[in-house]
Amino acid sequence: MEINELLREWRTCKPVLEIDIYGRECFQFPCRIIKVEKRTDLLFGAADEIFVEFECLNFENGELDLREGIMYNKTYERFKSLGEQLPNNTFAKFIATKNEGLKTVIYKTGSFMPRIMFLEMMGSEAGATRFSKDGMVEFHNNYSELRNWIAERSSAAIENKTDNFSDNSYLNDDSCYNSDGWDYYNDQLDMDQQGPEFWDNI
């Protein structure tokens, strides 16, 4: 499939809001996997997380975008056992997690079926031509909910971090020190040379 045809397919496919088995909100959107890599560095993520590089729509302008995400080892093993090839048209899920913010995960491979191409193959010209020529008209409507959702979740994450920081007021609070002791501190001496008045009032 030519890239312009694929972009049109993606633009006319509305991302779907779901609740996963863990009670987390997630948006499913079409993508194309172009790289899968099993990394061994512990800094990347959990041991069962496989690095994935994929193409999808830029959520703001509807053009081609390159993103990174993960698939879990079970998905990776199924991908290999089925002999699936790259690039691979499927769906990714944008998940709102409590500790990691927004995370992109691919749970299935080869699951995206081009709708416009199918209609054309079935000879349904009326069905295929009801979409705009490049799909941009549909894109602006289809992706508006996802854009708003991302903005809301990003703002909530920033507020949560700010609240957590302000709660840790002890980081900027010197009340745990007895200020009287510092009245006897001699900055011309090392700590082990301070007089008994300093140590008695700490």
Token pair in block for residue 87: 């690039």
The long-range contacts involving 153-157, CB below 8 angstroms and separated by at least 24 positions, are: 153/25, 153/96, 153/101, 153/102, 154/101, 154/102, 157/101, 157/102
pLDDT at 166 over 60: no
Q: How far is CA 98 from the centre of its chain?
A: 12
CB neighbours of residue 36 within 10 Å: 20
pLDDT at 188 over 80: no
∠ CA 94-99-100, nearest 5°, is 45
Q: Give the three-class secondary structure for 91.
A: strand
**Of 67-76, 147-156, 164-173, which one has max mean pLDDT?**
67-76
Residues 6+ apart with CB under 8 A from 64: 3, 7, 55, 57, 58
Residue 127 pLDDT class (50, 70, 90 cuts): low
Beta strand segments in the chain, E: 16-19, 25-37, 49-57, 64-72, 88-97, 101-105
pLDDT of residue 142: 97
Q: According to the 3-state scheme, what is the secondary structure of 127-148?
A: HHCCCCCCCHHHHHHHCHHHHH
pLDDT of residue 173: 40
Q: 17-76 pLDDT, tens per residue? A: 999 988 999 999 999 999 999 876 645 556 788 999 999 999 999 999 999 999 999 999
pLDDT at 149 over 60: yes
pLDDT at 171 over 50: no
Q: Which amino acid is at 78?
A: R
Tell me the mean pLDDT in the region 73-101. Answer: 91
Residue 150 pLDDT class (50, 70, 90 cuts): very high
* Range of weakest confidence among 35-39, 164-168, 198-202: 164-168
Residue 9 DSSP code: H
Mean pLDDT over the full length of the chain = 80
Residue 114 pLDDT class (50, 70, 90 cuts): confident
Block residue for tokens 């900055």? 187
Q: With 0-12 CB in 10 A as exposed, 13-18 as middle and 19+ as buried, what is 134?
A: middle
Tell me the mean pLDDT in the region 137-157. Answer: 90
The span from the CA of 108 to the CA of 73, in Å, is 12
* Range of weakest confidence among 38-42, 66-70, 97-101, 107-111: 38-42
* Range of weakest confidence among 78-82, 177-181, 182-186: 177-181
Tell me the mean pLDDT in the region 8-12. Answer: 95
